[in-house]
Amino acid sequence: MDNTADTIAAIATGTGGAVTVIRISGPDALHVSNSFWHGRKKLSTENRRTMLLGKCKSRDGLFSEQAIAVYFPSPNSYTGEDTVEIQCHGGTLVSRKVLELCLGSGARQANPGEFTFRAFMNGKIDLTQAEGVAEIISAESSMALNLAERQAGGIIGRTVREIRSALVFVLSECESRLDFGEENLDWTSTDDLNDRLNESSAKIGSLLKYKTEGAVLREGIRIVIAGKPNVGKSSMLNLLLGYDRAIVTPLPGTTRDTVEEHAVIRNIPVRLIDTAGIRDADDLIENKGIERSLSSIKQAQLVLWILDPCSELPAEIETMKKHLRNRDSSIAVWNKTDLVKDPSSLPDTGIDTVKVSVEKNTGIEELLDVIEKKAWGHPHTEEPELAVSSRHASLLEEAAEAIPGAVSNIIGQNWELAAVHLRSAISSLGKITGEDASPDILDDIFSRFCIGK
C-alpha cells in the first residue's frame, strides 16, 4: 500500500442503498473522471466542491447513467489528494459498471483502507485519528461512537504529541550537553528538565486511566449465566437479549450445550453465554454440556450465578462457591423471588447479590447496575472523556517505563544513558501517532478497514 503516486477508485458505500458513492483519488482523479462523466459543465477547478449533474457513459455508448459528480482539489479533500466523488443510482450492477469505467480510464482498484491511508500519509490525520475512523464504523453503542468520534477528531493524538515534544526537548538538551559539554552553553537546569519529564509521566498516567474504558468498549465482556438446572438461566438470557433465543421449559436439563449471543447492555458490548445447569448427571450428553459450562465459567469476565430460592438453600450456595473462581467478578442472582414470601430473609451468599424475578421482570435494573459497575471496575454514571485502546495503552506503558531511567540519569549527569531512555520513550509515543510506525503496524491497522474507506 506504500504506492501513493497512482490514482485509486472504489465503491465507497454499502450495497443495497438508493445511492452509491464512487470515490476516485490521486493525481489523475480529474482526468479519469472527465473521461467517462459528461455534464453541461466539465469537472474543473472553477467548479470545485460543487455538485454537477451529468452522465456516466461507456465509450461504446451501451451504458449511460445519470450521476452527480463533485471535485475536491488537493489538499482540501479527505485524502489530501485530488478527489472526485460520483453519486449514481444504487444497485450492485450500476455501481460496478461505474467503477469499471474508472478502472478503464486509468484508475486502480483501491485496497481496504487505502483512502484513509493516503489521508494519513499526506498528514491530513494522524494514526490515532485513522484508528478512530475505523472505530466509528465498528462502534456498537452510542458511547463507543461518541468516543470514536472524539478520537477521530484528534484528542488522543494531540495529547500524545504534546508529551512527545516535551520529551524531544529534554532529549535535545541531553544531546547538546553531550556535544558541547565543555562549552557551558545556556542550559536548561536539570531540575527544569526533570519537571518536564515528571509532568509527562503524569500526563501518560492520566491517559492510562481510560484503559478499561477502551478495552470494555472495543472488546466487550463475556458474561456467563451459570447455576443449577431449572433455576432460570435460559429465561435470564432471553430477558437480557430481549427475545427468545434459548429454550425454556420446566424440565431440568433442557439446555445441554452453551448458547452464545451478542448484546449491548448499558452501552457495553457483551457476549452472553447460557450454559447447561450444573449437577451430577448420568446422561452422557448432559455431562459434556456441564463440562462446557465449567470451562465457560473459567473464561468469563463476569459470571451471573443464578440461585433458586425454593431449593435447599445451603446446598444451593455451597455449589455456587465450589464453582466460582473469582468472587469479585461474579454476581449471585436469586431468581424466582415471586415464589418466596419474604425475599429479604434469603441467606447471605458472601458475594455481590441481586434479587430478581425474571418471570415478573423485577429487580432487573438493579442487576444491570451491578453488571455495569463490575464491567467498568468502578461506578460509571457519566460518559468517559476518552477510551484508550489496548494498542495505545501498551505503548503508553512502554513510554512511562522509560521515563524514570531518564530522570535518574539526568540527576547523575549521565547524558548518554538519559538519551537512550528518552529515545525509547519518544519512539513508543511516535508509534501511537504514526510518526514512528513501521510498515507492519500500518498494514495491520489499515487492513482492518473496508474497501472504499
Contact footprint for ligand GDP (CB under 6 A): 229-235, 248-250, 254-255, 277, 335-336, 338-339, 357-359
If one asks whether residue 255 binds Mg ion (CB under 5 A), the answer comes out as: yes
269 binds, among ligand GDP, Mg ion, none (CB under 5 to 8 A by kind): none
Stretch that binds Mg ion, among 114-122, 179-187, 248-256, 429-437 (CB under 5 A): 248-256
Measured from the CB atom, the residue of 217 and 231 that comes closer to ligand GDP is 231
| Closer residue to ligand GDP, CB minimum distance, 234 or 301 | 234
Q: Rule CB under 5 A: say whether 234 interacts with Mg ion.
A: yes
**Closest CB to Mg ion: residue number:** 255
For ligand GDP, give the closer residue by CB, 62 or 251: 251
Query: Cα separation of 217 and 376, whole Å?
Result: 10
Smallest distance, Mg ion to C-beta of residue 276, A:
7
CB of 364 to ligand GDP, least distance (A): 10
Residue pointed to by grid coordinates 492520566? 206
- The CB-of-252 to Mg ion minimum distance in angstroms stands at 9
439 burial (CB, 10 Å; 0-12 / 13-18 / 19+) is exposed
Residue 447 has what DSSP assignment? Answer: T
Q: Which does 336 bind (CB under 5 to 8 A by kind): Mg ion, ligand GDP, none?
A: ligand GDP
433, interface contact from ligand GDP, Mg ion, none, CB < 5-8 Å by kind: none
**Contact of residue 177 among Mg ion, ligand GDP, none (CB under 5-8 Å per partner type):** none
Q: Decide the pairing of beta strands 108-109 and 259-265.
A: unpaired
The distance of closest approach from Cβ of residue 77 to Mg ion in the complex, given in angstroms and rounded to an integer, is 55
Helix (H) or strand (E) run with residue 53 in it: strand 52-57
Residues 6+ apart with CB under 8 A from 108: 6, 7, 8, 9
Q: Which is nearer to ligand GDP, 53 or 339 (CB)?
A: 339
Count of residues binding Mg ion (CB under 5 A)?
Answer: 3
DSSP sequence for 83-147: EEEEEEE-SHHHHHHHHHHHHHTT-EEPPBTHHHHHHHHTTSS-HHHHHHHHHHHH--SHHHHHH
Of 29-37, 204-212, 227-235, 258-266, the window that binds Mg ion (rule: CB under 5 A) is 227-235
List phi, psi (to 5°) of 274. -90, 140
Least CB distance to ligand GDP at residue 262 (A) = 19
What is the spatial distance between Cα 356 and Cα 226, in angstroms, rounded to a whole number? Answer: 15
- 205 exposed, middle or buried (CB, 10 Å; 0-12, 13-18, 19+)? exposed
Interacting residue ranges for Mg ion, rule: CB under 5 A = 233-234, 255
